[in-house]
Amino acid sequence: MRIWLTLGFATMCVPVQAAMPAAQQNALVKQYCAVCHTDAAMNGGLSLQHYDAAKRDPALAAMILTKLNTGAMGAAGNGVPDKAAQEAWLASTKEQAAGAAEWFVSREDGLVSASIVREVPPRRPDVKESPVYRVKIACNTGSGIGQMQLTWSPQPQTGRTLTAAADGNAPVEYRIEGRESMGNGATVQTGHASVLLSDGGKLGFPNQSLTVRELFDGESVQFPFSALDKKTGTELRRCFR
């Protein structure tokens, strides 16, 4: 009886695809990604220096997935993992990204954070992957200091003004300018993939929705703040008064 239960449970929980153990994913991220995504360089507004695949973060996994799908594995100039490892890494990241379109809240060491992603239709007919945007809000409940970050992937941007509006109020403008140097010292430069919406303090904390427009031509994306649970909303709001 006991054996049956154990076996049944195991087959239910273990996906058919060979999911990659977290430690192996961490090693790949270290080798192929964290060379640029360091705490110091923060390419794309993102550090993967302390990345741990065992820690649930669907929105981050969704962002990583878009990059794995679009050639970032080779960006470090360290070659790429073998085919089997690439596939297992992709499959595991895809699993971790499940639920990324809903708020994911974490509470750790006095830091409350919530993140969510939204997809938009492909920008070019020959590209099938949908671009994604992520909004991440973090609030240090002790100091009352918070941050609201917007990131996007896989296409960087520069020389552009986007707007963000809370609850249909007057849109606030954010200028995306200049280029990023690669954290690993490579001489290529790119546009940006991140902006701090909390900078300037003009954007209030949305009760209902956050609408971001014109990061790319004619594009708009809406984040459902009304779906954020009440407790988290109250906690985060303290950092944005």
Q: How many CA atoms lie within 13 A of 214 on its CB side?
A: 13
Query: Site for ligand HEC (CB under 6 A): which residue of 26, 151, 198, 232?
Result: 151
User: Residue 44 Cβ, how far from ligand HEC at the closest point, in Å?
Assistant: 3
Give, as ranges, the residues between 181 and 210 that touch ligand HEC (CB under 6 A). 182-184, 186, 190, 193-194
Q: Strand locations in 48-153, DSSP E? A: 104-108, 111-119, 132-140, 145-153
Q: Across-strand partners of 149?
A: 136, 196
Among residues 25 and 211, whose Cβ is nearest to ligand HEC?
25
Residue 135 touching ligand HEC (CB under 6 A): no
Piece in contact with ligand HEC (CB under 6 A), picked from 4-12, 72-80, 98-106, 228-236: 72-80
Instruction: Work out the widest C-alpha separation in the chain, in whole angstroms.
Output: 65
CA distances from 125 to 42, 68, 71, 129 (A): 31, 20, 19, 10
Residue 118 touching ligand HEC (CB under 6 A): no
Query: Site for ligand HEC (CB under 6 A): which residue of 32, 103, 205, 223?
Result: 32
User: Residue 5 Cβ, how far from ligand HEC at the closest point, in Å?
Assistant: 38
Handedness of CA 79, 84, 88, 94 (dihedral sign): positive
Residue 236 touching ligand HEC (CB under 6 A): no
Contact pattern from residue 36 through residue 55 relative to ligand HEC, giving x for each residue in contact according to CB under 6 A and a dash for the rest: xx-----xxxx---------
Among residues 140 and 181, whose Cβ is nearest to ligand HEC?
181
Q: Across-strand partners of 152?
A: 133
DSSP states of 79-98 = ----HHHHHHHHHHHHHHTT
What type of residue is 58? Answer: P
* Chain-centre distance for alpha carbon 82: 25
Q: Which residues bind ligand HEC (CB under 6 A)?
A: 32-33, 35-37, 43-46, 63-64, 67-68, 72-73, 75-76, 134, 151, 153, 156, 180, 182-184, 186, 190, 193-194
